[in-house]
Structure 1
Amino acid sequence: MSARPALEIAVTSPAGARAARENGADRVELCAALELGGLTPSAALVEAVAREGVPAHVLVRCRPGDFVHTAEEIRLMAAEVRSVIASGASGVVIGALTADGDLDTVAVARLVEAARASGRPVDITLHRAVDQSADPVATAALLPSLGLTRVLTSGGAPTAAEGRETIAAMAAAAPGLQVMAGGGVRPADIPSLLSAGASAVHLSAKTRALPLRGGRWIPLGAGGASAEQDTHFVTDPEVVAEARRAMEGEGRGPAPG
């Protein structure tokens, strides 16, 4: 019997973790700077989210941009892996590519080794570096032998709904791997992603927080083109609940085939 499909919500705060937990998420992916695609959160933030009682898989990504990392960056991220696990993470989300677009197996092995050094069971997910790789299907097939348990992917497309066929191919190529569909996922997309072979679904369920600043607004860095845009994302509990209902099959017709 196949396991129940899992719902993962990307969050950036303890409040987001509570919203996810209370509305049906099975786990959260915790990061900072969601608007930049996510960066490694602080140890204090990991500790706070771990106390919320929902499994927290923590993104380890030391900078925005591409996934071709220097040796110094890999050393830093290995230290971050150890730090977030010590702070209570139940999993880590990692990845690195070579300049040719292949999985950087040496770098990934080092990050996996850092995760295993904790001495307790830790889930290890390859993040969406897979979607910028030269061959997402071949990359997915490599992961079980490297000790990874999951891959987060849009199937190499701008959104998971558009990459549905590749997601199906990835699931077929790596039967021991949990293929988690993520990237622009809306609750309405979930039934078709599950029928394609995804065994988990990831979405941010985000909405812009209302600015609560006093005084006048001035731009700080790349914060936004206006006071309304210069804010941060928060988790929308209604979207989480809608996603949970979609995971349970409400309104879903029979799966094709």
Structure 2
Amino acid sequence: MTKPRLPRIEVCVEGIDGLLAAQKAGADRVELCASLLEGGLTPSIGVVREALKLSTIPFNVIVRPRGGDFLYSEQEFQSMLRDVEALRDLGVAGVVIGCLTADGRVDVERTRALVRAAKPLTVTFHRAFDMTVDYRQAVEDLVHAGVDRVLTSGQRRTALDGLDILKDTVSLANGRLVVMVCGGLNAGNIADVLDRTGAPEAHFSAGKTVPSGMAFLNPFVGMGGTSLEREYQLTLTDESAVRATIAAARVREVQPA
């Protein structure tokens, strides 16, 4: 008799509406962010408080003070510590962090400090892992720093491109660190990626762009360096795409030995 394999599915969302869509579609967990166009930044305390009121599933909050690289000034790092402490006190399920050194290695000292500040929350190291010079050493560094989970596309743009590294990362982690795969996952490929890597968790965003509800559009001003068109577009979590991707991951069956 066959048994369904049920990987844990995390959906990356921007704000409260995304969280509600993901949990309605059957996600196990959410990564709560602001500004997904920049890869995800720390959401406001107001957003987190509202999420705690409305969530029925656990959510982790990204702690990332700006876009760009993961080499932070001392002032930026101190702000990350303060954010982690605030999120811990609010009672979220976990935090998502990532600090590197200038030579492309995990900043073990800072990572340990963030883990200490977060406890007893779970700690995920985000795709800063994919920007390291030696992913094998990075796995060991994360284990020694006390991180619970790593998010990775196998140091490539998509999980399909990074399959070999993802499989090796799962093997290297050997249960000491949960490997959560990501990178272009959808209903058409998630089952294949999970089967070929052996990863126990998967992460995707399933975003869609919709027109703004604004009736008046000023064609002369764009904010923040974005295109004028972007001023009147919203990126939302596609509930139907989340549901379809989760279903594709969970229809797989493991044959008996």
Q: Tell me the TM-score normalized by structure 1.
A: 0.90
- Aligned partner of 2:21 among 19, 29, 36: 19
SS in structure 2 of the partner of residue 101 of structure 1: coil
Could you say which residue in structure 2 is the equivalent of 1:104?
107
CA contact (8 A) 1:94 1:124 kept: yes
Comparing both structures, which one devotes a greater share of its residues to helix? 2
CA–CA distance in structure 1, aligned partners of residues 185 and 209 of structure 2 = 17
Q: Is the 8 A contact 2:211 2:232 kept in 1?
A: no
Instruction: Give the C-alpha shift of residue 215 in structure 1.
Output: 1.8
CA distance in 2, matches of 1:135, 1:28: 28
SS of corresponding position for 1:167 = helix
Is 1:171–2:170 an aligned residue pair?
yes
Q: Name the counterpart of 2:83.
A: 80
Structure 1 residue aligned with 2:67: 64
- 2:51 pairs, out of 49, 53, 72, with 49
How far off is 1:56 after superposition?
0.7
Residues 44, 87 of structure 1: 8 Å contact kept = no
Q: How many residues align?
A: 247
Q: Does the CA-based 8 Å contact 2:72-2:99 persist in structure 1?
A: yes
Match of 2:189 in 1: 189
RMSD of the TM alignment (CA)? 1.9
Instruction: Determine whether 1:212 maps to 2:213.
Output: yes
Q: Post-superposition shift, 1:192?
A: 1.8
Correspondences of 1:26-37 after superposition (within 5 Å): 26-37=28-39
Instruction: State the distance in 1 between where 2:52 and 2:187 align.
Output: 26
Name the amino acid aligned to 2:12. Answer: A
Helix, strand or coil at the partner of 2:189: helix
Amino acid at match of 1:181: V
Amino acid at match of 2:149: R
Matched letter for residue 190 of structure 1: I
1:87 offset after TM fit, Å? Answer: 2.6
- Tell whether the 8 Å contact from 1:47 to 1:88 is kept in structure 2 after alignment: no
* 1:225 positional shift: 4.1
Quote the Cα distance in structure 1 between the aligned partners of 2:159 and 2:28.
Answer: 20
Higher RCO, 1 vs 2 (CA within 8 Å, ≥6 residues apart):
2
Equivalent of 1:9, from 8, 11, 30? 11
Kept in 2: contact 1:224–1:230 (CA 8 A): no
8 A Cα contact 2:10 2:31, kept in partner: yes
* Residues 164-195 of structure 1: CA deviation (Å, up to 9, x unaligned): 11011001011121100112222222112211
CA contact (8 A) 1:17 1:54 kept: no
Report SS of the residue matched to 2:224.
coil
Q: 2: distance between equivalents of 1:231 and 1:88?
A: 33
Letter in 2 for 1:197: G
Contact 2:6–2:249 (8 Å) recurs in 1: no
Q: Partner residue of 2:249?
A: 247
Instruction: Structure 1: give runs of 5+ residues left out of the alignment.
Output: none
**1:87-144 deviation line (CA, Å, top 9, x unaligned):** 332000001100000100011111111102xxxx311000000001101232123222
Q: Which residue of the other structure, out of 232, 235, 244, is the alignment partner of 1:233?
A: 235
Question: Displacement of 1:13 after TM fit?
Answer: 1.9
% identical aligned pairs: 35
- Hey, what does 1:155 align to over in structure 2? 154
TM-score by length of 2: 0.90
1:146-176 Cα shifts (integer Å, max 9, x gaps)? 1111000010001112111101100101112
